[in-house]
Chain A
Amino acid sequence: MAETVLRQAPQVAGGGGGDHLTDGGFGDDGRGGGPPPGTVRRTYRTGMALALIGISMLFIAFTSAYFVRAGLSDDWVPIGLPPLLWWNAGLLLASSVTIELTRRALNQGLRSRCNTWLGLTALLGTGFLAGQFAAWRQLAERGIFLATNPSSSFFYLLTGTHAIHLFGGLVALFYIVWEAWRYRLGPAKRTLVEVTAIYWHFMDGLWIYILLLLWYGR
């Protein structure tokens, strides 16, 4: 891992970022050791995996509540899902592809290609959130609000919680865009881009899951 960084280090001026997330292990330079190179990278991947487990538990809890509430009651009226949601899903799936291309371009040190894919990912992500917002407006115009029916409560709960989490991913994405804008996105920022990509893929998969839950669990 470390050798990849060395090979491609000078690609971008100031690409090391200088201040943090260097891949040099844990501890100060010249302190004569610390855990082996790659430790930071590993901790971020582990940390992200654990965060995803935590988020999964949140949605598992919502899912079990969904089935219990739907199964127990006689007041459940399914809402018609706005077709826009499927288009949004398309946007998100596409953004998963572009963030993967961003990650690969960065690893290969291809700056301009990396920037293109990165910009596109941020755009698609923003488009998804805007699309979700439009879908909520559509439902609201049909008179379907949070408290209208348990099915609509769960619709807003699941899509809203997902949107909040996705927004977190978007903040990270825009931070990366900002770093790229300032010519500070080099291979040394791989870890940041990588964990963001993992998170983004997860948000993508989570959305497909929610969509299927809302569709089949009507």
Chain B
Amino acid sequence: MKYPALKLENLSKAFGADYAVQGINLDVEHGETVALLGPSGCGKSTTLRMVAGLEQPTDGAIYCEGKVIASVADNLFCPPEKRNIGMVFQAYALWPHKTAYENVAYPLELRRIKASVVRRKVYESLELVGLAGLEDRPVPRLSGGQQQRVALARALVYEPSILLLDEPFSNLDTKLRTQLRLELKELQKKIKLTTLFVTHDQVEALSVADRVVIMNSGRVEQIDAPGNVYEKSRTRFVRDFLGKVITLEATVKELPGPGKLRLAVDDCAGTQMISASCRSGSCGVGDRMEIAIRPEEVRVGGVDQDLRGGNVVEGRIEALLYVGSCFESKIRIGKESVFLDIPRSINWKEQQPIFIQLPESSITLWPLEKSGPPSAPDGCRQSSEMVG
């Protein structure tokens, strides 16, 4: 039987009465890159540190290649130095009293490897991360990006079974971040190392990982491929945490066919019904629903424009900001306001009506409680708001 490279089984960590991580189950396959993504305080870093052996779990077990490395039930805890895991720390944790070469050589020296082999491996490793020629630089005299690469070389040089990355790009500027993201992806293709990394940056998670684990308050919300977590979010938290989303409260008016619904957006007079399909569950006429759609999926038009295909709601532009590439706008639809970037090809004016088309295939429906939550007086909902 082939074991997963890493297996977390009902893993929990409590600090006193508070759970930082609560019952996580995860299998990471060989060569797979998995991202732990979530807001700060969601327990992703604690999870990573438990895998590294820097924290002891209070419940559950961790297996590496089928071998137990931590198990609360068996009172077993393998210290970090015996796990053969590589890790890149958020602030790199390079030793400032050593040069780049010495930093990378240290793990090999600890393993009592012959000096000539150490030399060869360190050079190979530094070359792999693109740092050949900077071996003798003291670490404090390297740039942020270079330090990051040294940290990566140090984590890779002893061929660990798993690579852990803790917010690997958060200390870099945007440009360098994009570049190193690409490089990491390339490197992953080359060396095919099982990787678990923690990030609060969704672009990082979605672009680098094969699978993304979305965490919230110590629990897993969804484990899926990047495309699925974004397009087929299973919980409101995941939907709202990833990217932007427009939500409108509506009531089911008709059931034209199996799995088909027609809804009216609340208090939105004078617009046609919205067609949508109900993926699961049963719903009846009069049920209240939340219509959710990613802003990049909607099309907008002015009064004189024809939005073919229907499914259009009417709104009014409340505020308009010119930001160069487009307008940022606040649009009132019924009781609610949504934020939307609208193209600058149309000469928009504040207070002007605007038509928004919601393509049926892009709509997801989220049942509201029967009574329906009372809306705030101005009905303003930010698309990035987190709903638990």
A, B assembled together: no
